[in-house]
Chain A
Amino acid sequence: GENVGLHLPTLSVQEGDNSIINCAYSNSASDYFIWYKQESGKGPQFIIDIRSNMDKRQGQRVTVLLNKTVKHLSLQIAATQPGDSAVYFCAESRIGSFKTIFGAGTRLFVKA
């Protein structure tokens, strides 16, 4: 069945270092991938997305990489800050579909 999962449930990084959060998906029909950030007591917040016709997309301090060959998605955060501490969810969807499937989530801890 469809599955979007994460390799590591928690990640601890030093402030100022780069963070890499990984995600695996199993549905080869997925063509739209999204990363969300969820802080304590808040709803998920959109960070960055990528379509299957791309393999890399950059935002402000964040980069998403997509490897369709091995069905792998990653989120890179440059110069991680304490405000980046949160749970990060990868998610996948398909063009025209209202369904978004979320991965299990990775909790990022940033040490000062």
Chain B
Amino acid sequence: DTEVTQTPKHLVMGMTNKKSLKCEQHMGHRAMYWYKQKAKKPPELMFVYSYEKLSINESVPSRFSPECPNSSLLNLHLHALQPEDSALYLCASSQDRTGFNSPLHFGNGTRLTVT
């Protein structure tokens, strides 16, 4: 079992819907990430939060809106998505990387289908 929990596991939404993906970790990690993974491709970085502040936005369209309410929670709000946004959305966490490196701990993802 992963120590990063993502809900829901599966989500089907229409292009006019608003939905949210949720992620939770209790490892005390202060960096949290959203990745997008298309079938048979590697994960691609979307956002990074460090100490609950947005640190990196990899030029992600505004229809994806991240939120970090506290050090354990990370949300991704979805609005007016396109069918090409269908993918596996992965949440990850790591120790603060200032001055050193640490591996990412991934959840099992939310499989999103946009119809």
Q: Categorize the interface residue count of chain B.
A: 20 to 34
Q: Which of A7-23 contact B (CB under 8 A)?
A: none
B50 at the interface (CB under 8 A from A): yes
Total chain A interface residues with beta-carbon distance under 8 A: 25
Q: Pick the interface stretch among A40-48, A58-66, A68-76, A77-85.
A: A40-48
Within the complex, which residue of A43, A89, A103 is in contact with B109, where a contact is CB–CB below 8 Å? A43
Q: Pick the interface stretch among B13-21, B62-70, B71-79, B95-103.
A: B95-103
Nearest chain A residue, comparing its CB with the CB of B96: A98
Contact A96 B56 (CB under 8 A): no
Contact A98 B109 (CB under 8 A): no
Report which B residues bind A (CB closer than 8 A): 2, 4, 31, 33, 40-45, 48, 50, 55-56, 90, 92, 97-101, 103-109
